[in-house]
Each structure stands twice: as C-alpha cells, then as structure tokens.
Structure 1
Amino acid sequence: MATMVESWLRLAAIPRLGAKSLGKLLSSYPPHKLLTLTDDELQAAGLKPEQLHAFRHPDERMIENCLAWEDAPDKHILTLADPRYPYLLKHIPSAPPLLFVEGNADALSSPQIAIVGSRHASSDGLSLAHEFAYQLVRHELTVTSGLALGIDGRAHRGALDGKGKTIAVLGSGLDKIYPFRHKALARDISASGGALVSELWPWSPPKPAFFPKRNRIISGLSTGVLVVEAAMKSGSLITARLALEQGRDVFALPGTVNNPYAKGSNGLIKQGAFLVESVDDILEQVGTLAGCAINHQLDVTQAQVLQEELPFPELLANVGNEARCVDVLAELCDQPVHEIMMQLLELELQGLVTAVPGGYIRTRRG
C-alpha cells in the first residue's frame, strides 16, 4: 500500500496533467484513493490512456529517490494535503501539487514580499534591491525571489544582511542549484531560517521553460511583488502579470528614461502599479493580505487555536471553496463516512458549510 506522499509523487509524475484535470481528480478522490479505482473510473475522472499507463506503471526508482531525498536533514516534500503547504499559494489557479523544500518549511507561510528584476541591473538597481530587502525583513516580512543573477541575488543577500528570512524559488531541482555561482548563497538561505523551493524533481537540470512556470510560485507565495528594474521583455514582467492575475499588489521603482532596464518597471507604473519610493509605501498597502498569510501560517498548533471554538475543526479545515465529496473528507479526516455525514449535517445546520453538486463547500461564516 502506497504511503500518502508516494501517492502524490505518482500523481505528480503523470505527464501533461494540467491544473484543470488535476483539480477535477482531487475534487473527487484523494491521491491514494485513485490507486483503488478501475481503469474505466480513472478515465471517467479525466485521465487519458497514456496518463493512465503512467499512473499505473510509475518509475519506482524515481519515487524511491524522492523519498530518500526527503529523509535527509531539513528536506521536505509538501503536498497540497499537507497542513504546512502555504495557504496563499494553495489558492492560486495552478498550485503545484508538490513542493520540494530545503530549509525551514514554515517560512513558506510567513508574510512575503517578492523582489524581482533584471539580471543585468545597474549599480543603483542592485543597491536598491539590497536596501529594500534589508528594510523589509526589519519589518518582519520575508523576501522571496528567484536566486537569479542581478536583482534576485542582491535581494536575497539584503534579507540575510538584515538578519531576516528569505525564500528562493528555483527553476531547477534543489540538487541542481542554478546559477552555480549562487550555490553559497543558496546554502546561506537555507541555513538562516529561510528556504529553497522547487516544484521540480530534485535532480532536474535548469531549462528555459521552467523559469516562467516558477514565476507563478514566486508571486503566489507573496502578498505583493516589487519590480526593481526590468526591461520591456523580461521574466520580471511575467511575474508582475501573474501577480495581478492572482490578486496580488504590484509595486515598481521608477527608473531614469535612459536606463533600458527600467523601461519595463516604468511601463508597469504607467499601467497602474504602485510607484514606490520607500519601504513605507509597500507597508501601507500590503496589510490586509499579509494579515491573511499570518492567520493561515502552517503552524498546526496556531491553526487549532484559531478554530478551537468551531465544531469539528479537523473536518472544517478540509472543507474549502471547491466541492469535496463525503468519501474524500472521510479519507482526509481518517474517520468513518457515517461519522463525517453526521458532522456535516451539524455544520450545515449552523451555517458553516453548504451542500453543492459534488459535495460540500465552506460558507463565508465558516
């Protein structure tokens, strides 16, 4: 019988399984339940024949290597069902089913500001990235970036110099640090209360296609994104666009008209991004979403305290904004179906959940 993490690894290994298909699968069955279904049931749930074959016949050595990787100190595999999975990231449209984390996994649930910008930044841009990161961590915010050369690296270093936490989201596996010259920086990040994060298998080399995808994680983890310097066509603008789609604030530092690496950030300001001159401009704006991140930090004890006055807190914690059927809730709570049905009835009578096609969702009052 596969363990919970093994089941998620098998699911994540299915080729070309998009967010919509994954969501359809998970709304009906938890991953380890999928193993008990017939081929016809799996195809009815959305798997194509080649995906079904990959799920039935996974690369067992790859899964064993992942589990062995997790056994090492300070290494974690977080699934969407893990209570440590960061709340803000979990609620973006294409949340990764797995996160490989090295360092402090709880840092992923701290209030974060992403700092992104050009790999070919000016000396002023580099200095500003360092200074803003330094000041943000002094206000107990975590700085998130992509470990790239230029603005990213200086933002990470500024956070470390400010004795704060910083998170690096990689476009490679965590055993293939890229760029290689930031290997020491990556080590300092994970050793100083921060974390390295990737959705890729630990041994995955960097590829151009991975970097735009990792940008959605940078913005998804964060309450806002600060663009320091960016050319008109850059990954930083992709991150800013994703941030807007995810309901995050976008901030930009204005640059001189003669700086080609400021045209993108200046363009963002023209389009409505917040013009930033000091850290106070950011702090005034991010309070609400930062508070949301604080209230949903992945400290399980704190979550229990927040919900202790509500009935059946474990069940309530597993009912979200997307419908979940009774069988799935019973599996997640490790309780008999009839017990879950009785609890759902009481929660529904109190107006905390409501029945919808496909299962139950949580009401605003809940």
Structure 2
Amino acid sequence: MSSPDPADPSAPERPANTPGTKASPPTPRQIRRWRKYLADEQAEGRLYTALAERKRGEERQILLGLAAAEKRHEQHWRDLLGADAERLPAPSAHRVLLGWMARIFGSVFILALAQRAEGGSPYDQDDDATARMAADEAIHEEVVRALATRGREKLSGGFRAAVFGANDGLVSNLALIVGMGGTGVGAGVILLTGIAGLLAGALSMAAGEFVSVRSQRELLDATRPTQVTLRAAPDLDFDHNELILVYRARGMSQADAEHRALERLDVFTCDCRPELSHDPEEPADSHEIVGSAWTAAGSSFVFFAVGALIPVLPYLLGSEGITAIIIASSLVGVALLATGAAVGLLSGASPLKRGLRQLGIGLGAAAVTYLLGTLLGGTVA
C-alpha cells in the first residue's frame, strides 16, 4: 500500500493523539516530548520574527510567513498538551543561541544555522506530529536555504578571500616556522623568518586575489550581452533576420528565437509569449557574486597577516625551542578550528566537521615540514 502524499490536501493525516478523539491518555514521556517540541516551535517563531524585523519587502514577508507556520505547529502541541502547555522547559540550546545571534549579528550565518535546524526536524519519525507538519518542515528547509543563498552570494567574494587568506596565513607560516625550528636554528632566526613569511605571503595573496577577481570581472564583461540588438533592429532586413542567429547563439530554440527577433522588429503589436520577453537583454549581474577586486585584495592581505602573526606570537613573547613550537601549534590549531567552523556555518554544513578538517590539514602540513626540517638540519650539521 502506497503512503499518502503529504503535499496532497486530500491526503489523510497521520494518526495522531488529537483533541476530540478517543485515545489513551498521553504518557509522561509523550508529554515531555510535546513540551520540548512546543518550546522549540516558540523559539523558532521568535527567531524568524526577529530576522524579519531587520528586513524589508519580499524577504520580510517570507520570514513572517515562516513565523506564522511555526505558530500553527505550536498550536498543534498546545492542543495536545492542554493544561501541560504552561511553564515549558528551555528550548534546545542551539535554538537559544540562534535567537541570541539573530538579535545581535544579522541574518547570513543565522539562516545557515536555521537551515540545518529545519533539516533535522524529528516530525517525520514521530506519529504524534501530522504528516503536513513534517512536510512543512521539509519545505521550510528549502525556503531558508534560498534565503541564506542570497546572503552567501553577497558575502562570497570578500568572505572567500578572508577565509582563504586567514587559513593560508595560519598554515603556511606555521609550517615555515616549525620547519625552521626543526633545523635547530636560533629563535631570532625563526622570528625573522616568520615576519618575512608574513609580509611576503600577505602581499602575494593580496596581489593574487586582485588579479584573479579583476580578471574574472573582465571575463564576465566580455560575455555579457549588449544592447546592439535594439540599436540595429530598425535597419535589419526582415526577410533575412540576423537577430534569430543572435538569440539562437544565446541558447534559445528556433521558435523562441524567431519570436524574440520579430518582437524586436516590432512585427508583433502585443507580446503573446511574455516569458520570452522578461528582460532578456539584461541577465542577472554576476559581478555581485564575484565581488570587488579591491575588497578581495584587502581582505586577503589583512586576514593572511592576522593568520600568519599567530604562529609568530610565542617567539615575539620570548619562547624558544620545542616550547615555542608547541605553543604556536596550539594557537594555530584553535584558529583553524574557528575558520573551519565559520565556513561550515556559512555553507550550512557541520561546523565541527569543517573545523576538524581544517585542523587536520594545517597540523599535518606543519608536521611534515618539521620532519623535513629535522632531516635537513641533521644533514647540514
């Protein structure tokens, strides 16, 4: 027997212990679970309301729509709980954190975290929740994903440069310092080497980011359609309409290209196929995603320098030998966990997994260079 489609309004609801039906009294375990669900729904509703207060227009309406949906879910648990719906427990820790961050920081990271929370809904495994509630939560994840994508695109250029810059500064300078430490040279030499690596790396990263982003923007400019079709249309030969070739080259079918070309020549007095005429000459601006070359260069320089400074700190404070190496590796390890977690948050992935991945890569590179430095030091000696 096939299961009902949750999206079908006529589909029967999942059996639930709803008010008005003759069912056995809820168990204490059920009551505790429902109270937790109710507390979480209230927290999510407040989160979306708080985010909506910072938005205008379409995004604000979408967030308020999500808050209203959480209210509906909240009412379901209230109806089941009755008098037990008062004096609720604290919501889940990450929902409390989300609400606090939403009021202070903004929406991009918050929406990425909310996306993970919506994706982890237990309703599809709980018979006390309706099938429509489980379907709502699945749709909410996609809504939040789409909203988070807007913010990710706005941040992608500068944020990418900042994360890569910080990560490269941490890993490359730690590897450089640890490698030099493995050779057995003095702390003064290691300190100068670390400072030189900081300056050289920061300048190199900034120059590389500037050239990369500027080149990408120039490539986008070269491929962006122009308005020449509008200027040339009045003088084209109707019987040999070259505009058809333009639109076919842009990916339209023969029929769609003919329609668009004839419209440009004013053969149609009305637009009988509006979907072909929705600003076809003005594609979405990809420059916003790429970002500014100066922003990328500045972010890369600053964050590389900050990252590269961290492994140098023990030597600046007078530490030497293996003690300095251990302190530098520990400081860099904490920073790598932070940068990895930030990437995980923004991408909607697990912050812990991303942080551990960054940590493993960074410390692995440092360990290899330390061994090579030790071998090189022994050979030279």
TM interval, shorter chain, is: under 0.3
Task: Give the alignment's TM-score, normalised by structure 2.
Answer: 0.19
Task: Give the alignment's TM-score, normalised by structure 1.
Answer: 0.20
Q: Which is richer in helix?
A: 2
Q: Which is richer in strand?
A: 1
Q: With CA pairs under 8 Å and 6+ residues apart, which has the higher RCO, 1 or 2?
A: 2
